[in-house]
Structure 1
């Protein structure tokens, strides 16, 4: 008697299709790789159109709704707090789901939440309701990274993933810039009605979700293509036998390869300090330059902009360096970038008051260019150093620590330190954060080198077996 076929939900990862012939694989694989990359790039950029809208129109909200700065902070923080939680918990769902559906659905739900804010008056009537709705928005936002990570780990192999991930990671800069342009245009059309900064970017995000759906595919196997490791003859650093008779449950997988994995836990701890440093500099540029250099607010905003723009260059450079110069040794790249970040941070801190202001702003750009590399790199290491069955969950786990602990340390922690001890102590602590990451990356690097040696031995063994087979045939 034939066993009944297990029913699959519409979100479930699709099963493998019969393998296509070699000619069709050669024709189809490059096209699919371009399409899925464009899909996750545009899709992830779309999430940033509808994530930080509250902060963007805070002065208008304060005037129209009578909100205080504390109220604005609570509403804005609700998004980030939910995002940090969702990035982990939704990743556990994403790793078993079809990325083609998962990312567009998350983007569409987030867009609908923003439309709800714009067109339902009672949503913005109280801080509690507004913050609750934005918490829901943040939860849907957490469906973007895990699905993108799933696509990256299935469609791009280890020795190219650093460069590809760094390019993809600039999507958040593109999306954030797009939000500024879209919101400015909408506010101009509506005579500064703050609601327009929610509904207009949301409409664009809905269109992006449709485009992403048509471009993304879940895995090569679901398209009748060979796994990327086989196609590019490039074994993964960590592999699990999926054909084993004894398959653990998903939560057993997560417990073993994420929650109790030395490497993943170390990456999560490192992410706390990386995010503390990122936001500890970014969030306080305007205040620091005003306090210590007598700078105008416009000068601080210039620093904010160059920090973000330099992050694009730094992210791309970091990905290229990790693939090309360090040949996939991500921890070595992380140590280099974080050590240079510490040097740039001390230089920014110690600039003489008599020096031209442009020197401080230039150093802000250097810090931004350096710190965004490790921000990208930790997510990349998480998917590199975990089995692909839980790659999204591993990256989400590191993000959970970064947003819930690192961002809090950067905002409340730095503010308290400046108030009680001054800028010198605050910068000493931030510099210590950078050096701590260097030390943690060194520990991670020891495990990574072991995995890389095993991967190289496996690759050489496969080449030798292929050569023996060719010799036997001849």
Structure 2
């Protein structure tokens, strides 16, 4: 088999770096902690940068509508183009990312997305029609898919199983940082350009190019490429799943390996299906909160926007708490953490549904905040479980697979599906549907839990063996 086949079509300049000669013990002790912090900051800032240029049309949708440039249907079509493209790219780009140098892969994707936004904001022809606008945003969504997979690659290579929950939770907050940053950047640009909507694209695009350069400076591909031992050896913390043997990699095509270890893997299928329902819950509550509060509780527009904001803000706290709980209380058993948090989601969705009309608005805000705080933990955990339980050679692809299902199917169910249920059957049927989604997500995670416990037992045995060998030296 050719080296190009084994590399999965990755161009030579992008391929993962080979191991460098091992450094001596003193250099390893000095260099490893510093590089771990450095690469973490690289993927944190880099991933935040992707949110500067992901779907900026939502920021200027009111302006586009008020000026008669686009109507709500056109805005929805253009926005959905990004989500569908991103979901597809998150999977297909991951198959390349698993074999690519993260130091190049992530900054290149961010730079390409930034350039797309700059061109969209400076070339009128790219926004002349809805079709062209949507096509450009579809391309942007494809470049956006180059953000998560290399981040997952860095997390799985530089941080071991027992610490990965907390580290992934902190990294996951990058999207909140980027989301806040794009709002500030766009508002500043619009204020200095007489509200010309194009500035909400080209100005964040310029910033994203700077962030891409910073990410390139900070990120390193793998510890082995820097002359360091694998993270499992460095922290005496074996992986839950062994990497695919090099002889197998050499004897099969990339897609046969992906099929065997990801697409036909029962655990990965259950995680992907669980993600469908988790994303349905996430966007099914978030997207429709302003409408629900207005229709059922006669809240004004500001209250609806406040509910939207509380949902996102408490999501940061919930994500961090979820990562800590999964590492320290459940000792790496992600399924138990996910079931606990999703059970809380179900309880508060039921409360959101059953509180009577006339309930004080602050009570409703607390309920919305609790749903947001609880749902973002499972959103983060699905990707974490995928990279935990897949061989690290295909960890990014496994996480991309769950993301594909979440964005393409789950987000669609949350927008089009929930909207259809509201219109034809009302809010009672909508909340019953959301609770059913919660139950199905929990059931699928419990199916994953059996496999995870088996892997954890194997992990514990490997850890004991490693300690015994260390004591015998």
Q: Per the shorter chain, which TM-score range?
A: over 0.9
2:136 maps to 1:133: yes
Measured in 2, the distance between the counterparts of 1:303 and 1:278 equals 13
2:312 maps to 1:308: yes
Alignment of 1:40-439 (within 5 A): 40-64=43-67, 66-240=69-243, 242-244=245-247, 247-439=251-443
Q: Give the number of equivalent residue pairs.
A: 465
How far apart are residue 242 of structure 1 and its match?
3.2
SS at 1:266's partner residue?
helix
How far apart are residue 450 of structure 1 and its match?
0.4
Tell me whether 235-244 or 198-207 shows the greater mean CA deviation.
235-244
How far apart are residue 392 of structure 1 and its match?
0.4
Measured in 1, the distance between the counterparts of 2:95 and 2:72 equals 35
Measured in 2, the distance between the counterparts of 1:25 and 1:462 equals 19
How far apart are residue 327 of structure 1 and its match?
0.2
Deviations 1:326-346 (A, max 9, x none): 000000100000001100110
Q: In 2, are the aligned partners of 1:273 and 1:406 still within 8 Å (CA)?
A: yes
Measured in 1, the distance between the counterparts of 2:465 and 2:175 equals 40
Q: In 1, are the aligned partners of 2:236 and 2:467 still within 8 Å (CA)?
A: no
Task: Give unmatched runs, 5+ long, in structure 1.
Answer: none
Tell me whether 388-397 or 238-247 shows the greater mean CA deviation.
238-247
Alignment correspondent of 1:21? 24
Measured in 2, the distance between the counterparts of 1:401 and 1:261 equals 15
SS at 2:184's partner residue?
helix
TM-score scaled by structure 1?
A: 0.96
Measured in 2, the distance between the counterparts of 1:441 and 1:450 equals 14
How far apart are residue 466 of structure 1 and its match?
3.0
Distance 1:457-1:288 versus aligned 2 partners, 3 A rule: same
In the TM superposition, structure 1's runs of 4+ consecutive aligned residues that sit over 6 Å from their partners are none
What root-mean-square deviation, in Å, do the aligned CA atoms of Structure 1 and Structure 2 show? 1.4
How far apart are residue 65 of structure 1 and its match?
5.3
SS at 2:14's partner residue?
coil
Distance 1:23-1:197 versus aligned 2 partners, 3 A rule: same
Task: Give unmatched runs, 5+ long, in structure 2.
Answer: none
How far apart are residue 89 of structure 1 and its match?
0.3
Measured in 2, the distance between the counterparts of 1:283 and 1:63 equals 21
Deviations 1:270-322 (A, max 9, x none): 00000000000000011000000101111100001110000000000000000
How far apart are residue 8 of structure 1 and its match?
7.2
How far apart are residue 349 of structure 1 and its match?
1.0
Measured in 2, the distance between the counterparts of 1:216 and 1:134 equals 27
Distance 1:460-1:213 versus aligned 2 partners, 3 A rule: same
Q: In 2, are the aligned partners of 1:65 and 1:125 still within 8 Å (CA)?
A: no
Distance 1:247-1:161 versus aligned 2 partners, 3 A rule: farther
How far apart are residue 243 of structure 1 and its match?
4.6
SS at 2:225's partner residue?
helix
Deviations 1:146-177 (A, max 9, x none): 01000000000000000000000010011001
Deviations 1:246-274 (A, max 9, x none): 64332222111100011101000000000
How far apart are residue 354 of structure 1 and its match?
2.2
Deviations 1:225-247 (A, max 9, x none): 00000000000000035354764
Q: In 2, are the aligned partners of 1:330 and 1:377 still within 8 Å (CA)?
A: yes
Q: In 1, are the aligned partners of 2:244 and 2:393 still within 8 Å (CA)?
A: no
SS at 1:238's partner residue?
coil
Q: In 1, are the aligned partners of 2:244 and 2:391 still within 8 Å (CA)?
A: no
